[in-house]
Amino acid sequence: MKRRTLIKQLAFVSGSLVLIPACMEDRSKASMLLKNISIGGDEEMMMADLGETIIPKTETPGAKDIGAHLFALMMVDDCYKAADQQKFVAGLKAFEVKTKNQFSKSFSKCSIEERETLLNELEAKKKDISDLQYFYINTKRLVIQAYTTSKFYLSEVQVYKLVPGKFYGCVPLNKAS
Amino acid sequence: MAENTFDAIVIGSGMSGGWAAKEFTGKGLKTLVLERGRDVKHLKDYPTTNMMPWEFEHRGQIPVAIKDANPVISRCYAFKEDAMHFFVKDTEHPYLQEKPFDWIRGYQVGGKSLMWARHTQRWSQYDFEAPKRDGYVVDWPIRYNDLSDWYSYVEKFAGISGNKDGLSQLPDGEFLPPHELNCVEEYFKNTITKKYKDRPVITARMAHLTEPQPIHIEQGRAQCQNRVICQRGCPFGGYFSSNASTLPWAAKTGNLTMITNAVVQQILYDEATGKATGVRVVDAITKESTDYLAPVIFVNAGAINTNLILLNSISNRFPNGLGNDNGLLGKYVAFHNYRGRVFGKFNQLTDSNSVGRSPSGAYIPRFRNVFTKEADFLGGYASLFVAQRSLKMNTIGFGNKLKEQLAAKDLKDWAVSAMFMGETIPKASNQITLDKLNKDEWGMPLINFNVGYDDNDEKMLADFFAQMTEMFTTAGFTDIETKDSKQAPGLDIHEMGGVRMGSDPETSLLNKWNQLHQCKNVFVTDGACMTSTATQNPSLTYMALTARAVDYAVEELKNKNI
């Protein structure tokens, strides 16, 4: 991608981006208003780093750039049933405990390698129904949703056209793109 | 009183009310349209129409608090973040359900014509003859020939896309060019048409401007751009709605008065003349009551609310509701059974796909009990067939690898599905009544639904599953699955009947001109008038019946017969 396009995109990726610095100053509170779940500033930062581990910034925007962790928290807060919200928050705590037990520090302080070790473990446990696994699977799903419905993704990766115009019913795949 | 007196009153501004407004004003009558909801102006009041997917806070999803408070509307396929402002929420307008009925409503100018599914097929001679031939309900007082010219009339103005397929069971109309089918829809059409002589598969006929004609340009509408987010309101006017088409056309004549937030409580009846004199309206916001007068009244409030208004129009002469001497008002309510789906996969033709989006698909006209009664159930069903391919989207793992996977353009094989659109047989026990003890804040009794499925519906659905499984197998589809959603009646949004047409005042409410047998200056031309339901998406028929009835009413006014 051209550098200029990238800068332009980063400027508009998400209005919620401007909220992030706020939580850096006061780590006891989340940067966004949550109605149903209680998430602290540290936990929000952990979510941001977890999101970034799932979809990292490369030469193109990653999860943090598009505010995927804020989207995930907002969706859990607004669109999950109360029981699922509790499971999610319990899983989030369990994730923090596991990280501390394994590496004696928070996820945000973990190295890239340590973060990947944790996620590899969770990826391997497909059938686990623990709160921790629920938290991981749902965070990942929501981060992917945020990413694949972001302006960057729908403008640069899989292009969404608001006004597609003519519909071609049947086109050989080598000509379809 | 002079400022409250008009030449005609139309109750409702949706699909059929919009047509009544256009026809009356076009014939020079000063026409009052009463809409119980707020105004929605074409273009101006489509707040989400140009929003991109990432601009929706919840990416289209409805928050759980809204869902929990509004379980009925939350079951509607189109009730999403982008169009939720066009749907009535359960909490705003409660009703009673002796049996579950998901009543989907749009209280605004344009009604549900803003968010409808836009499929438009004519009824055939067989559909009008079926009740008499097969012995259910009562005979329709009209035949296809009574309506064919009116179908043409409304089709030309609304703009309907389709092929001339030459089928007597689904007559051709005045068509704009058809949409294209995709590779697998075309394949299915060819395969099934070859194998089953009696089961043609055609391109769906839809109220989309595939090639606008001068009459559409004159309405300010432009070619459909295949956005396929029609439920938000279309900035091109690419599909037909009252808002984009009939209402602005009526306004241009200078003969239209539109009053919004106008809840009609009852039609006023004068025993001395034996006619209705006007309507009593309560303002939805101020609750102030006003009477409006006119020599002719069209009730186009939407099938169920039309029943409500008539049932609530009590007088000494009509203690059980206007025109209801035979006690049938509110009975024989019917709908379309949309419970069934058949799914499958297709691993051929995978070297091709479509480009762009299509609002259309393939349509399988009814093939049961069409030319003769041959199945062990009454009525028949049509089906909509669609095929599509989606991205593979491998979400295993994380990190750079996952990011690369999400950028892959690889497509899955084809997913196919066929949707069941079954006729239901109206019966007296499928009834709506008024609960006089429970009134809403506008003083209207609450409606109580006692409408359900019967054995005929179950038999027909089983036949659909069997036939469609066979057709999918014939076409070489795999992983075939049938699914009965068991959804309550109503989600089809094709509620009909309660004020049925017929020749005999003993057994029907309306005559062949949609005129109340016993109060000749009141007409009903929305879904409430339907004697039987056939399988077609009904809106086009309401439009044609409305234009025909207005033409008749104006003649009768001129001749001083009403």
The Cα diameter of chain A in Å comes to 58
Question: Whole domain around residue A95: which residue ranges?
Answer: 3-176
Touching check for A76 and chain B: CB below 8 Å? Answer: no
Touching check for A15 and chain B: CB below 8 Å? Answer: no
**Residue A144 with chain B: CB contacts under 8 Å:** 395, 402, 406
Task: Give the residue from B264, B249, B367, B243 showing the smallest Cα distance to B310.
Answer: B264
CA dist., res. B48 & res. B55, Å (int)? 9
Strands B8-11 and B31-34: parallel
Q: Do A79 and B396 touch (CB under 8 A)?
A: no
pLDDT digits (tens, 9 = 90+) for B2-42: 789 999 999 999 999 999 999 999 999 999 999 999 999 99
Q: Count of alpha carbons within 13 Å of B163, Cβ hemisphere only?
A: 15
Task: Give the residue from B316, B287, B251 showing the smallest Cα distance to B26.
Answer: B251
pLDDT at site A177:
58
CA angle B320, B322, B324 (to 5 degrees): 55
User: Could you give the percent of chain B with pLDDT greater than 70?
Assistant: 100
CA dist., res. B137 & res. A147, Å (int)? 56
B229 Cα to chain A: minimum distance (Å): 9
pLDDT digits (tens, 9 = 90+) for B286-303: 999 999 999 999 999 999
Touching check for A123 and chain B: CB below 8 Å? Answer: yes
Facing B58 at nearest CB: one of A75, A158, A169: A75
**What is the ipTM for the molecules in this complex?**
0.94
Q: How confident is the model at residue B483 (pLDDT cuts 50, 70, 90)?
A: very high
B225 Cα to chain A: minimum distance (Å): 4
Q: Do B58 and A79 touch (CB under 8 A)?
A: yes
CA dist., res. B469 & res. B459, Å (int)? 15
Q: Do B402 and A171 touch (CB under 8 A)?
A: no
**Residue A154 with chain B: CB contacts under 8 Å:** 52-54
pLDDT digits (tens, 9 = 90+) for B105-150: 999 999 999 999 999 999 999 999 999 999 999 999 999 999 999 9
- Single-letter code of the amino acid located at B83: A
Q: Do B356 and A154 touch (CB under 8 A)?
A: no
Q: Do A170 and B352 touch (CB under 8 A)?
A: yes
Mutate to test the interface with A, among B64, B228, B354, B358 (most CBs of A within 10 A): B64
DSSP B244: I
**What Cα–Cα distance (Å) separates residue B181 from each residue in B197, B201, B210, B471?**
21, 11, 14, 18
**Domain B2-42+91-162+212-337+427-447+490-558 = CATH 3.50.50.60:** yes
Facing A58 at nearest CB: one of B226, B355, B400: B400
**Residue B185 with chain A: CB contacts under 8 Å:** 169
CA dist., res. A120 & res. A92, Å (int)? 17
Facing A116 at nearest CB: one of B180, B186, B399: B399
pLDDT digits (tens, 9 = 90+) for B198-208: 999 999 999 99
**Residue B425 above 50 pLDDT?**
yes
Give me the mean pLDDT over the B47-69 stretch: 98
- Single-letter code of the amino acid located at B156: K
Q: Do B180 and A119 touch (CB under 8 A)?
A: no
CA dist., res. A122 & res. B206, Å (int)? 49
- Collapse the DSSP code of B175 into the 3-class scheme (helix H, G, I; strand E, B; otherwise coil) and give the result: strand
SS3 string of B368-416? CCCCCCCCCCCCCEEEEEEEECCECCCCCCCCHHHHHHHHCCCECCEEE
Interhelix angle A131-148/A112-124, rounded to 10 degrees, is 110
**Domain boundary assignment for chain B:** 2-42+91-162+212-337+427-447+490-558, 177-203+339-424+453-487
Mean pLDDT score across all residues of chain B: 98
Touching check for A58 and chain B: CB below 8 Å? Answer: yes
Whether the Cβ atoms of residue A162 and residue B82 lie closer than 8 Å to each other: no
Whether the Cβ atoms of residue B351 and residue A176 lie closer than 8 Å to each other: no
CA dist., res. B529 & res. B543, Å (int)? 12
CA dist., res. A36 & res. B382, Å (int)? 46
Residue B493 structure tokens: 């949004």
Facing A169 at nearest CB: one of B183, B400, B402: B183
**What Cα–Cα distance (Å) separates residue A49 from each residue in A102, B234, B248?**
17, 41, 54
Touching check for A157 and chain B: CB below 8 Å? Answer: yes
**Residue A116 with chain B: CB contacts under 8 Å:** 398-399
Facing A78 at nearest CB: one of B53, B58, B179: B58
**What Cα–Cα distance (Å) separates residue B164 from each residue in B74, B88, B177, B202, B216?**
38, 38, 9, 10, 21
pLDDT at site B436:
85
Which residues, in sequence order, are CB contacts of B290 under 8 Å at separation 6+? B4, B280, B281, B282, B283
CA angle B40, B45, B48 (to 5 degrees): 130
How many structural domains is chain A composed of? 1
Residue A2 backbone phi and psi in degrees, to 5: -70, 140
Give me the mean pLDDT over the B373-378 stretch: 96
pTM score, two decimals? 0.94
CA dist., res. B6 & res. B262, Å (int)? 16
pLDDT digits (tens, 9 = 90+) for B436-465: 899 999 999 999 999 999 999 999 999 999
Whether the Cβ atoms of residue B168 and residue B200 lie closer than 8 Å to each other: no
Residues of chain A with pLDDT below 70 are 1-28, 176-177
Give me the mean pLDDT over the B421-428 stretch: 98
Give me the mean pLDDT over the B323-352 stretch: 98
Q: How confident is the model at residue B1 (pLDDT cuts 50, 70, 90)?
A: low
**Residue B226 with chain A: CB contacts under 8 Å:** 164-167
Q: Do A167 and B411 touch (CB under 8 A)?
A: no
Pairs of residues, one from chain A and one from chain B, whose beta carbons lie less than 8 Å apart: 124
Q: Do A149 and B59 touch (CB under 8 A)?
A: yes
DSSP B488: P
CA dist., res. A174 & res. B254, Å (int)? 55
Choose the weakest-confidence range: A9-18, B73-82, B312-321, B529-538.
A9-18
CA dist., res. B453 & res. B335, Å (int)? 10
**What Cα–Cα distance (Å) separates residue B238 from each residue in B151, B212, B230?**
20, 9, 9
Touching check for A54 and chain B: CB below 8 Å? Answer: yes
**Residue B489 above 80 pLDDT?**
yes
- Collapse the DSSP code of A87 into the 3-class scheme (helix H, G, I; strand E, B; otherwise coil) and give the result: helix
SS3 string of A38-83? CCCHHHHHHHHHHHHHHCCCCCCCCCCCCCHHHHHHHHHHHHCCHH
Facing B225 at nearest CB: one of A80, A148, A164: A164
DSSP B205: P
Classify each residue of B359-376 as buried b or exposed e, where b means 16 or more C-beta atoms within 10 Å of its C-beta: bbbbbbbbbbbbeebeee
**Residue B493 above 60 pLDDT?**
yes
Q: Do A78 and B63 touch (CB under 8 A)?
A: yes
Facing A147 at nearest CB: one of B227, B352, B406: B406
